[in-house]
Structure 1
């Protein structure tokens, strides 16, 4: 069996029509979802970009013991970790990495380990790539970083955009390799629709053809410069950011659709499993935020997860309501490949859930930024099928928040004072789960109440 995994950075689950969105064009992923199993309650574990990918490479909740060393002074995927690509390669798979997510490889991050080959599409965001000064208008240089504008200075056509380059590279690799190996694992990772929200103009015009308001701040990261709060922007500006992000989503959908069509054209659906997912979402005005934060509400912690098994496996379809998390993806792939899951793995294979055979359900999902280092997150998010608790440290000035997702999916009515027993139960379950993962007791005590 071949396996293709596609990760799209910062892709909000609720911007896909197959998850209920009514206004954004995502026809290709929606069509893919019709032939797949769609997980309605998939959540991240570690946040953000690199910690998440360490989770899906290791099958572990790595936020409990590691942190993202941004400058690469320490390895972000140490050789002591047993990883997916390594295990598949040892099992006879040809393994290939194709990515424009520059954090995977830059500054010795090391996520190319275990792959027989890797192609890096250069220039995303603040990748130290091009040096020629940008010629963009001054207004644009105030809202999008100089490095990014340098990197895209030669861009002329839609096919020059990063997701287009990445999916085209994956198509080319498949054309060269689809019938040359006994079995292969292709990992495709695009940084889009991550900021900068900079789609081709015609993609934004799909949603707002009359815009005359110029550039809007908040749609890109500037190193060392805080993002604006939603309250700092007008309603029109917030709507423009939403339009730009929607344009990015549709752009990603179109080019992933091209790759999915190529997979079909090459006759690979008979014996190839395909997984689509994301590392987190983002905020576009919700909770007064613009861009992701480590305050993990539904817009960021809840992710799309769509899995298509090969036709030879019956290609089960439908929706699954079980709570699943990103560390579950690695053991799922290993079970699909017939590879033993190592004892280091903390996630659970989803194969029985996909086939509709599972009886055991996870009660909660736990999502967090790193619990290691000098700066701990204000909240750890605990999600059950009904409730979401943003659990703050005991005694902190930052207060916990509790939401009833069955009645308030947008998390606008905080019930922490009305339902303290629910919050205490979720907090206790969280502590027990983190303790089972081996989280340090001294760290857990910051979140523990006496009953824990």
Structure 2
């Protein structure tokens, strides 16, 4: 038995025909969808990139404890659990956040790992001399990204294609072996949307304005023609990586390994490209475009192909599912549930609701019918703490503002390992990151799929508050989170 997990970053399910999308060319993802079980109510947990990956590798939603950061020394990970069962694991990726400060110990937990350089701000191409920046542009332009782009002379030079080709090469050498777990992870279609011109030409893009390949996070601040252009750039980048995924599928078929292989296709989160008058992520409410993510699972021999599952699932369920199919023990720290019963028709649901969000922002819950976004009750977001034994975060360190207020102790119920308790809010000081999300909202997804009309319904809100409390309790939420959200 083998498991191959294919993961794209920032994949909007509404771009895929399997989820009703139109206009984006993804023939190979469509091909996989035809052979797979499709999950309609699959949700992220912790956002964005690295928090989502910690969820995937530990089977726990960690965003109530901390945000962006490394795998903790007390985390019991998927690759480590596989190793204990004698199962080899390998990851091939171009996601450079794994190798920046705040991305420690993810790839290193695999038996082997393979990293392909050049995405976004990866400090790869070394040049003291700066390239000239455009006089006018929309969105973001970053010097290191422009230096990296000088290496992309051919399509094969782009990091996404290099990553998928490396996965094909690994399978050529190892694919027919038994009992391994392979993760194939492409950063595309994450911004900036870099792709050869011939993919952009597929979308009849005639844009002639200032350069725009990397949207800012926040309210749309570009003219309609630029917004249309960035949407086409996203589609073109997705079409490019789909083309290379086709090579990976071809390799699996040619090696004739699919009869005894579990194939998983998913993402970490989506991205806004004009929906809700916003672009990006991180600073706004976690709308469905961000949190309701695609999941396709191809069972060995293509069993149950074409089945659609309506039960609520989320990313923390993938670790126990993989361990279940691979015959490995599931650690008692895992909060997710194996999806095997859903996949094989012996179970109707694994959870009542999915809990998701960013650390220190709204805490969100959905039962598939309603989505509820619970905002902090005060502008200072007090009280809020990060709990970690490794105080790194996105390219920086936690606690530098007020180190004298950091405590250390055994604050987490599921481990005896001591951690730092680091204040992330100060009483009376406005917490700027919450500027877009200071309003609690309820949406009826059955009648308002695109979340355009917040609902006033006391009975529905009361039920969602009950689900929120239950989900937070199951997740082991620190007590101050209930105070922060006005739930205490």
- TM-score, normalized by length of structure 1? 0.90
The answer for the alignment partner of 2:124 in structure 1 is 129
The answer for the alignment partner of 1:27 in structure 2 is 27
C-alpha separation between the residues in 1 aligned to 2:348 and 2:443?
27
Alignment counterpart, residue 465 of structure 2, candidates 417, 427, 438: 427
User: Which runs of 5 or more residues in structure 2 are unaligned?
Assistant: 380-436
Q: Does 1:341 find its partner at 2:320?
A: no
C-alpha separation between the residues in 1 aligned to 2:277 and 2:167?
38
> Per-residue deviation at 1:182?
3.1
Alignment counterpart, residue 312 of structure 2, candidates 323, 328, 333: 323
Q: Does 1:406 find its partner at 2:389?
A: no
CA shift in 2, pair 1:209/1:236, >3 Å: closer
C-alpha separation between the residues in 2 aligned to 1:405 and 1:204?
33
User: Which runs of 5 or more residues in structure 1 are unaligned?
Assistant: 70-75, 371-375
- Residue aligned with 1:173, SS: helix
| CA root-mean-square deviation | 1.9
Within a 5 Å distance, the mapping from 1:202-241 to structure 2 comes to 202-216=198-212, 219-220=213-214, 227=217, 229-230=219-220, 232-241=221-230
CA contact (8 A) 2:337 2:350 kept: no
Within a 5 Å distance, the mapping from 1:273-422 to structure 2 comes to 273-294=262-283, 295-311=285-301, 314=303, 316-370=305-359, 376-377=360-361, 379-394=362-377, 398-415=438-455, 418-422=456-460
CA shift in 2, pair 1:91/1:146, >3 Å: same
CA contact (8 A) 1:136 1:149 kept: no
Q: Does 1:190 find its partner at 2:230?
A: no
Q: Does 1:91 find its partner at 2:85?
A: yes
Within a 5 Å distance, the mapping from 1:102-251 to structure 2 comes to 102-107=96-101, 109-132=104-127, 133=129, 135=131, 138-139=134-135, 143-179=140-176, 181-216=177-212, 219-220=213-214, 227=217, 229-230=219-220, 232-251=221-240
> Per-residue deviation at 1:34?
0.6
C-alpha separation between the residues in 1 aligned to 2:319 and 2:91?
15
- Residue aligned with 2:227, SS: helix
> Per-residue deviation at 1:136?
6.6
The answer for the alignment partner of 2:482 in structure 1 is 444
- Residue aligned with 2:484, SS: coil
C-alpha separation between the residues in 1 aligned to 2:364 and 2:6?
26
CA contact (8 A) 2:60 2:336 kept: yes
Any idea what the Cα deviations from partners look like across 1:303-337, whole Å, max 9, x if unmatched? 110001111x8354411111100000000000010
Q: Which moved more, 1:86-95 or 1:265-274?
A: 86-95
How many residues were matched structurally? 427
Any idea what the Cα deviations from partners look like across 1:11-67, whole Å, max 9, x if unmatched? 101101111011111111111011100101110010110010000100011112232
Any idea what the Cα deviations from partners look like across 1:217-240, whole Å, max 9, x if unmatched? xx427xxxx64521x211111111
- Residue aligned with 1:344, SS: coil
